[in-house]
């Protein structure tokens, strides 16, 4: 790859070609929203979230910043800011990953396999560990009220 800006353009085009609805925030290619559907076979199935993505100048050598714009009830997502606690994105990012990986692998894995032992939302983590059924009902209740339209 010749430069980070070319890689950014390529990854963004690849994401758009993968049937994701992408909305640019400004004229540059560094900030945008992506519509993300909850993964099948999870309490988040049927949900639709707007994800804010910010690509740093050093992308792909530095990880993108990812956050949920509309509310999601999850142990590893801060309920107020929408920040995502995702090790692969935050600590183990590699230039081998791209934006499609974020939306087809990393975020679905986060929703399918929450980690209540490393929470950003302590209440969700505690409920998940104490009563998984009640946690899933709460997720489904939040999901219905927080769809992107």
Q: Which tokens hold the place of 130?
A: 């104490």
**Are 53 and 31 within 8 A, CB to CB?**
yes
Q: Which of 85, 88, 100, 112 is catalytic?
A: 85
Residue 83: DSSP 8-state: B
To the nearest whole percent, how much of the chain has pLDDT over 70?
A: 92
Residues 63-102 have pLDDT tens digits of 999 999 999 999 999 989 999 877 757 777 899 999 999 9
Q: Is position 27 annotated as part of the catalytic site?
A: no
Among 107, 101, 55, 53, smallest CA distance to 77 is for: 107
Mean pLDDT of 48-52: 96
Neighbouring CB atoms inside 10 A of 123's CB total 12
To the nearest whole percent, how much of the chain has pLDDT over 90?
A: 75
Cα gap 120→125, rounded to integer Å: 8
Residues 54-67 have pLDDT tens digits of 999 999 999 999 99
Specify the pTM: 0.88
Residue 143 has pLDDT above 90, yes or no: no
């Amino acid at each position: 790859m010749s430069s980070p800006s070319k890689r950014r353009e390529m990854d963004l085009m690849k994401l758009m070609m993968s049937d994701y609805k992408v909305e640019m925030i400004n004229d540059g290619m560094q900030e945008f929203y992506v519509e993300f559907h909850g993964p099948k076979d999870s309490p988040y199935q049927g949900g639709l979230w707007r994800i804010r993505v910010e690509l740093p100048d050093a992308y792909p050598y530095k990880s993108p910043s990812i956050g949920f714009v509309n509310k999601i009830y999850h142990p590893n997502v801060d309920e107020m800011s929408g920040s995502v606690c995702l090790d692969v994105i935050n600590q183990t990012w590699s230039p081998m990953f791209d934006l499609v990986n974020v939306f087809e692998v990393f975020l679905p894995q986060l929703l399918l396999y929450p980690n209540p032992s490393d929470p950003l939302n302590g209440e969700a983590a505690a409920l998940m560990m104490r009563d998984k059924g009640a946690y899933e009902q709460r997720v489904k209740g939040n999901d219905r009220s927080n769809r992107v339209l």
